[in-house]
């Protein structure tokens, strides 16, 4: 019985080392594969109970394999902004491009640690193997997103196709001008001074907000008072606001706004210095300066001077590039010099990464052993930050694998020798009767 158990032990040794050879060969073959995680084979002894203390029965060896998914490979830089990797713990969520054919169905989600994503003909960010990047869409106005963190159902395919051309309407204008103090004194001509400020409407059209300043000319002395009319060129120069501006003549804060009285239109906010001016298609926050502040509208003994004009908004812009920051926010960068946050890319975490089920293309799916998912903002909690212009290399050390290859080859040969020796012993036993 002990001889036959030795034979069985040798056979199990061959099988175990063959399994280890398989993982080593797979590791070496994928040493240059981005995101590949090392497969590892461990041996466990098997103990058989003999019929007496003096008899030992060989139990052999059993091989178990697992993939070391929680081991990260080094990150390297690339030239593509949407080459993504996680610098630390966590995964990106992807779906298969074939799932996009039925937008009403739930998207099957897989997890990867790195990927090279580029827009396809429809603007969907995907890899060459058909893995589509998933994220949370953000509102274009405020760039925020609030979704459940314990489910993958709220994730959608990341697409930049609808954002190739966008309007960027003007929503804020800051206007600082100096009104000549001599014009508000007795005997002046009382001429109206005007200035136009370009703004961009909702569809990218160029329009003008026109300002007319008329001094209040007193019989004697100086009034330090002006009437400001705001006209919208998009509404055929309709008056959208009339305001009385009073300036401080005192030694302290001389020439700054003392009081703004709303005659018609939206009220002036002294705390911010802004007026919500109604224009065609919406409102523009017009900042003329706070009370007592020198950086707004002033009345000083110099000419009519536009000190500074600032505004947001641009003509129709086209998408020029994309960028992903460390927090997983995907931004579109437009040729008119502004950016918009389009998506937030969460980092998926599970309690036991090595319990995930490995699939093709260095992707993984959830299992009972992996535990439940949680979606983190990149760089928060236990997860790593997100890196654009980066790929994760394989976690393989080729030198270590080659050393193990030699050890496995020797172990396989040794087990074969055991089988050969047992065979010779059995032949000797069969020859006793002769």
Per-residue pLDDT of the chain (434 residues; tens, 9 = 90+): 577 778 888 888 899 999 999 999 999 999 999 999 999 999 888 777 655 566 777 778 889 899 999 999 999 999 999 999 999 999 999 999 999 998 888 899 999 999 999 999 999 999 999 999 999 998 654 556 678 899 999 999 999 987 888 999 999 999 999 999 999 999 999 999 999 999 999 999 999 999 999 999 999 999 999 999 999 999 999 999 999 999 999 998 999 999 999 999 999 999 999 999 999 989 999 999 999 999 899 999 999 989 999 999 999 999 999 999 999 999 999 999 899 999 999 999 999 999 999 999 999 999 999 999 999 999 999 999 999 999 999 999 999 999 999 999 999 999 899 888 888 888 888 778 66
Residue 274 neighbours by CB distance under 10 Å: 20
Instruction: Round to whole Å and give the CA distance between 313 and 203.
Output: 11
- Return d(Cα 30, Cα 328) in angstroms, integer: 28
Rounded to whole angstroms, how far apart are CA atoms 361 and 88? 20
Rg (CA), the chain: 37
Are 347 and 383 contacting, i.e. CB atoms less than 8 angstroms apart?
yes
Q: Buried b / exposed e across 183-205, counting CB within 10 Å, b at 16+?
A: bbbeebeeeebeeebebbbeebe
- The CA dihedral of 149, 154, 158, 162, to the nearest 10 degrees, is -130
Report the relative pairing of strands 298-300 and 172-180 from DSSP bridges: parallel
Is the CB of residue 375 less than 8 Å from the CB of residue 347?
Answer: yes
Alpha-carbon span 397 to 29, nearest angstrom = 12
Q: What gap in Å lies between CA 434 and CA 425, rounded to an integer?
A: 15
Instruction: Provide the token pair at 117.
Output: 């994503």
Burial class (CB in 10 A: 0-12, 13-18, 19+), 217: middle
25-42 burial, b if ≥16 CB within 10 A, otherwise e? Answer: ebbeebeeebbbbbbbbe
The whole model's pTM is what? 0.79
Closest by CA to 115, choosing from 217, 34, 57, is 34
Q: Are 291 and 260 in contact (CB under 8 A)?
A: yes
Alpha-carbon distance of 48 to 101, in angstroms, equals 56
Torsion of CA 146, 150, 152, 157, to 10 degrees: 30
Residue 153 has phi, psi (to 5 degrees) of -65, -25
Query: What values do phi and psi take at 21, rounded to 5?
Result: -60, -35
Per-residue pLDDT of 16-61, as tens digits, reads 999 999 999 999 999 999 999 999 999 888 777 655 566 777 778 8
């Amino acid at each position: 019985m002990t001889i036959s158990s030795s034979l069985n032990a040798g056979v199990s040794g061959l099988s175990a080392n063959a399994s280890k050879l398989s993982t080593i060969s797979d590791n070496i073959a994928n040493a240059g594969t981005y995101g590949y995680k090392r497969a590892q084979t461990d041996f466990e002894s098997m103990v058989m109970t003999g019929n007496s203390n003096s008899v030992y029965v060989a139990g052999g060896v059993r091989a178990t394999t697992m993939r070391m998914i929680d081991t990260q490979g080094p990150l390297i830089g690339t030239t593509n902004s949407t080459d993504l990797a996680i610098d630390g713990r966590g995964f990106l969520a992807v779906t298969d491009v074939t799932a996009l054919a039925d937008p009403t169905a739930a998207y099957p989600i897989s997890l990867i640690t790195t990927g090279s994503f580029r827009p396809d003909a429809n603007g969907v960010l995907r890899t060459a193997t058909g893995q589509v990047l998933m994220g949370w869409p953000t509102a274009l106005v405020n760039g925020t997103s609030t979704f459940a963190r314990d489910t993958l159902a709220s994730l959608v395919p990341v697409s930049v196709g609808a954002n190739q051309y966008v309007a960027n309407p003007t929503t804020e204008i800051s206007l600082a001008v100096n009104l000549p103090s001599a014009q508000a004194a007795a005997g002046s001509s009382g001429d109206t001074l005007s200035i136009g400020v370009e703004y961009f409407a909702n569809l990218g059209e160029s329009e003008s907000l026109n300002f007319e300043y008329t001094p209040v000319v007193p019989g004697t002395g100086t009034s330090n008072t002006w009437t400001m009319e705001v006209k919208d060129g998009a509404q055929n120069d309709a008056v959208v606001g009339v305001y009385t501006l009073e300036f401080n003549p005192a030694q302290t804060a001389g020439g700054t706004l003392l009081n703004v009285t709303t005659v018609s239109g939206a009220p002036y906010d002294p705390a911010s210095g802004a007026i919500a001016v109604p224009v065609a298609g919406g409102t523009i926050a017009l900042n003329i300066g706070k009370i007592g502040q020198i950086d707004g509208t002033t009345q000083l003994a110099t000419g009519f001077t536009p000190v500074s004009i600032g505004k947001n908004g641009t003509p129709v812009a086209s998408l020029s590039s994309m960028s992903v920051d460390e927090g997983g926010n995907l931004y579109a960068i437009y040729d008119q010099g502004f950016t918009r946050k389009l998506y937030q890319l969460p980092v998926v975490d599970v309690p036991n990464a090595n319990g995930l089920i490995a699939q093709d293309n260095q992707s993984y799916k959830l299992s009972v052993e992996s535990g439940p998912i949680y979606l983190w903002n990149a760089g928060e909690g236990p997860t790593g930050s997100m890196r654009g212009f980066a790929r994760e290399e394989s976690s393989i050390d080729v030198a270590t694998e080659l050393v193990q290859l030699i050890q496995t080859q020797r172990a396989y040969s040794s087990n074969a020798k055991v089988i050969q020796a047992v065979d010779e012993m059995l032949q000797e036993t069969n020859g006793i009767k002769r």
